[in-house]
Amino acid sequence: MDELPIGRRVAYWRSRRKLSQQVFADRLGKSKSWVDKVERGVRRLDKFSVLHEIADILEIDVQLLLGKDPERRTDGMSCIDQVEVEEIRAALERYDAMSAYFAGAPCPPPLADMTKAVNHAWLTYQYGRYGLLTRALPKLLRDAQAADAGCTGDQAQEAAHLLGQAYQIASSVLRRIGEGELAWLAADRATAVAQRANDPLLAGIATSRVCNALVAMGRPRPALELNVNIANLLAPDTGKVTPENLSVFGTLLLQAVMAAARLGDSATVDDLLTGAQEAATELGGDHNHYWTSFGPTNIELHRAAAAVELGDGGRAVLIHQRLPEPAFNALLPERRAHHLLDLARAYAQVGEVGPAGEMLLRADRLSPSEIRCRPIAHEVMADVLRRTRGAPTSHLAELAEQMGVGV
């Protein structure tokens, strides 16, 4: 995009942020006609102060508007930046398998090394270290694509399985940091690769990533229908139940729960939670098969999250209060921090902004990326600050400053 005129770059990023010209103009304090002229190149953008203001509204580094590489962060906080987004995008745009079809595949990386790298990436995600993960993802995707393109015979399915997982990891972290369309692309790739891996459970989990991306893009209805459809196809047969099957089946139902909650369909939410609860009971505890973290405790976390989506923050708080503390503390940091963020939203819904702020602080101590890097967390923080009487606590004010949310 470096060769584009600056006005075209503004138009590109405005479109990526799903802002109309009118909304963008209002935020800038300009007219829609002014924005239109800038984007068409009729009006020059020669004031650096205006460029900075535009970059702030579009949430990008000003260097991107100038056609230059953004300055890399040197701080220790691990949020994704636009350099990393574009590097992941470039990796997703590769078609190594097609190139190999015409010209032969390069020597693939050893599958043992790839397995270790994929497992490490999953753990990095589930520990909420998104910045570290996004910096590693481009190479992981390229290596997994090369392995998938170059492996033949018995190794082909294993390589496809690893690539499918790499796509799922990319989809999950991209959705968390607000890149819904890229998350959908990665998840869609994962479903296709999972079929070549000949693993219905991997395909089932990949489907849930597609549905998560659809919900993030404001498409909960198809997400609900797809989750339920694939869950029904993977429903465990009597006498042939495996822990892995129960975990994937239950996870699909839980993702359907969140889609139904987004639609405001409380009856369907209850029905799906009942089905997921039965699977968790049969599983007999919290497990991480296929990296799902599925089990009875995760059911309660989704029950609370669904209540928040339905606008019943009080119920979500009650669900949290009855959670067995040892079981909750045994969950991976990402799951716990995600729940505390939901709980902050719940407290805010019932007007208890003090506890809402405390939940944000607790979640930040568990997984800073889950709070500092997610758009929804920024929205909750802004809401808490706006409704706090007097000055916020010093700890909350410090966190808000680190997040870039104005006090």
Q: At what angle do helices 154-176 and 111-126 cross, to 10 degrees?
A: 20
Out of 259, 288, 320, a domain closes at 320
Q: What is the pLDDT of residues 344-402, one digit of tens each?
A: 999 999 999 999 999 999 999 999 999 988 889 999 999 999 999 988 999 999 999 88
What pLDDT shows up at residue 118? 96
Residue 53: both structure tokens together: 């203001």
CB-based burial label for 321 (10 Å; 0-12, 13-18, 19+): exposed
For 140-155, give the DSSP string: HHHHHHHHHHH--THH
pTM: predicted TM-score of the whole model, two decimal places: 0.79
Q: What is the number of other CB atoms lying within 10 angstroms of the CB of residue 117?
A: 18
Q: What CATH number is associated with residue 38?
A: 1.10.260.40
Closest to 203 (Cα-Cα) out of 146, 147, 165: 165
Would you call 46 helix, strand, or coil by DSSP?
coil
The letter for the amino acid at 293 is S
For 45-171, list the strands marked E by DSSP.
none
> Does residue 1 belong to any structural domain of this protein?
no
Out of 39, 65, 91, a domain closes at 65
Whether 53 and 87 map to the same domain: the answer is no
Phi, psi of 193 (to 5 degrees): -70, -35
> Does residue 70 belong to any structural domain of this protein?
no
What pLDDT shows up at residue 6? 86
Walk along the chain (407 residues) and give the pLDDT tens digit of each residue: 445 688 888 888 888 777 889 988 888 889 999 999 999 888 888 777 788 788 878 877 777 787 765 554 433 345 666 677 888 888 888 776 555 544 555 677 899 999 999 999 999 999 988 888 888 899 999 999 999 988 888 899 999 999 999 999 999 999 988 889 999 999 999 999 999 999 999 999 999 999 999 999 999 999 999 999 999 999 987 667 899 999 999 999 999 999 999 999 999 999 999 999 999 999 999 999 999 999 999 999 999 999 999 999 999 999 999 999 999 999 999 999 999 999 999 999 999 999 999 999 999 999 999 998 888 999 999 999 999 998 899 999 999 988 888 76
What is the residue range of 147's domain? 80-217
What pLDDT shows up at residue 80? 66
User: For the chain, how big is the Rg over CA atoms in Å?
Assistant: 22
Q: Which residues neighbour 50 within 8 Å (Cβ) at sequence distance 6 or greater? A: none
Whether 101 and 172 map to the same domain: the answer is yes
What pLDDT shows up at residue 77? 45
> Does residue 326 belong to any structural domain of this protein?
no
Whether 198 and 224 map to the same domain: the answer is no
SS3 content of the chain, % helix, strand, coil (to 5): 75, 0, 25
Whether 150 and 161 map to the same domain: the answer is yes
For 178-234, give the DSSP string: T-HHHHHHHHHHHHHHHHHTT-HHHHHHHHHHHHHHHHHTT-HHHHHHHHHHHHHHT
Total domains present in the chain:
4
Whether 191 and 172 map to the same domain: the answer is yes
> Does residue 39 belong to any structural domain of this protein?
yes
Phi, psi of 126 (to 5 degrees): -75, -15
Dist CA 338 CA 195 (whole Å) = 30
> Does residue 75 belong to any structural domain of this protein?
no
Whether 312 and 354 map to the same domain: the answer is no
Q: What is the DSSP letter of 406?
A: -
Helical ranges in 284-332 per DSSP H: 296-309, 313-321, 325-329
The letter for the amino acid at 182 is L
Residue corresponding to tokens 């799922």: 168
Whether 164 and 126 map to the same domain: the answer is yes
Whether 47 and 93 map to the same domain: the answer is no
Whether 118 and 204 map to the same domain: the answer is yes
Largest CA distance in the chain: 71
Whether 169 and 262 map to the same domain: the answer is no
Q: Which residues neighbour 264 within 8 Å (Cβ) at sequence distance 6 or greater? A: 310
Whether 193 and 240 map to the same domain: the answer is no
Distances (CA, A) of 158 to 64, 193, 311: 39, 11, 44
Whether 36 and 137 map to the same domain: the answer is no
Q: Are 153 and 145 in contact (CB under 8 A)?
A: no
> Does residue 74 belong to any structural domain of this protein?
no
The letter for the amino acid at 188 is D
> Does residue 177 belong to any structural domain of this protein?
yes
> Does residue 354 belong to any structural domain of this protein?
yes
Out of 217, 245, 260, a domain closes at 217
